[in-house]
Structure 1
Amino acid sequence: MSKNTGPDPHAVYPNPDLKQIRFIKNIVTNPLIVAGDYSYYDDSSGEAPFEQQVTHHYDFIGDKLIIGKFCAFASGIEFVMNGANHRMGSVTTYPFNIMGHGWEKATPRLEELPYKGDTVIGNDVWIGQKVTIMPGVHIGDGAIIAANSTVAKDVPPYHIAGGNPARILRKRFSDELIELLLELKWWDWSIEKVTANLEILCSSDPEQIRTLI
């Protein structure tokens, strides 16, 4: 990768002088976690596996965490997967079966457990510190999640959400500009084109993106 076209997308540390920032795609080992190029998370220790941020993630359930490109995840975030769910239609939600000693006779069938499907994070999503994402949530391209939020419902593209439980706070841009950005899909450009247009992508006037059409 040329020094003039950004960091190596195959590197663990995009900036060797800032080792708390790591590209997710290049460090995950769980095939049920899929991440796009340039998406990173902030780990102050510089050593914790990304999988530690993904809890209750069991192979026998098979749900996936799917992350797009160019996402920015702050420290302390947690993705809660479907394995956290307890049986809800019975008298008690207590998981007797995992205690053993004869209680495994109460092991629920998978179809008795709530299942919300895959958790999907779009492209260019910014998630603030200490955010919890609940099972099966879909967060759209360009969305922002405020720090310390718990997200239990889907967030549309280019919207800002926050709170516990998180709610939609506002749109980032006009409907027209959001539609344009979703058609443009700049994250799918070649990295050379991204680099050549950084000034527009990072401009305080997002309407400049129209000049690229």
Structure 2
Amino acid sequence: MLLRKNCCRRGGLYLLLYALLCSCGSRHTAPGGREMPARSMLPDQHILDLGEDRDENHLPGTLAGFPFTPRYFEWQADGRPAKFLALSLPDVSADQQANELINRYQLLAPALIHQWAPRHTGIVIDLRNNGGHAQKATYQVQAATAVFPVVLVWDDSTASRADRYIQWIASMEAYVQKTDGLLVNDSLLLQLPATGIPDRQLLQDIPVKDCLHQVY
């Protein structure tokens, strides 16, 4: 019972790392493997890929069941263009899917953080679902000398869910710090993908090049 409670408290941090599970490519050989003699290897489908980048809008073959669609875009953060990855989790069913991934990959959290941090790419967790009064909380995740921002976004219809995520993230003080100093351009919240809002242009409908070129 205690172990299960601790796993739930770590949920916020692992959610921040889902980006790694959908943006890392496969590595079929170890570094320098071409010069090494042939050796037995475990089947690829049992190994979490931590290799080179692939197409940002496609999932690695070993994670074909990943339930969320990652979207990359640029925001103005602290007055400078900053690359972010957005994950939309608009309802309770998304929380359930997230929990399944947490249970599967929780032991790899430290390795995932250290691999993601040097990319200097922020992560946006968007909980909104047709509600008004969008709000956000900003954090910084640090691994060694590398730091990347995390932004949690919600609306009045998902405030109760946001409270749980905030508590989870706050329990990860070894990696995550709340920050009020990260200045994010609120007008660009409209670019975030969201479920159930038919009258708003979704990120996948926006030409990527135009989106990146218009933000300075």
Q: Which has the higher contact order (CA 8 A, sep 6+)?
A: 2
TM-score, with structure 1 as normaliser: 0.28
The structure in which a higher percent of residues are helix is 2
TM-score, with structure 2 as normaliser: 0.27
Rg larger for: 1
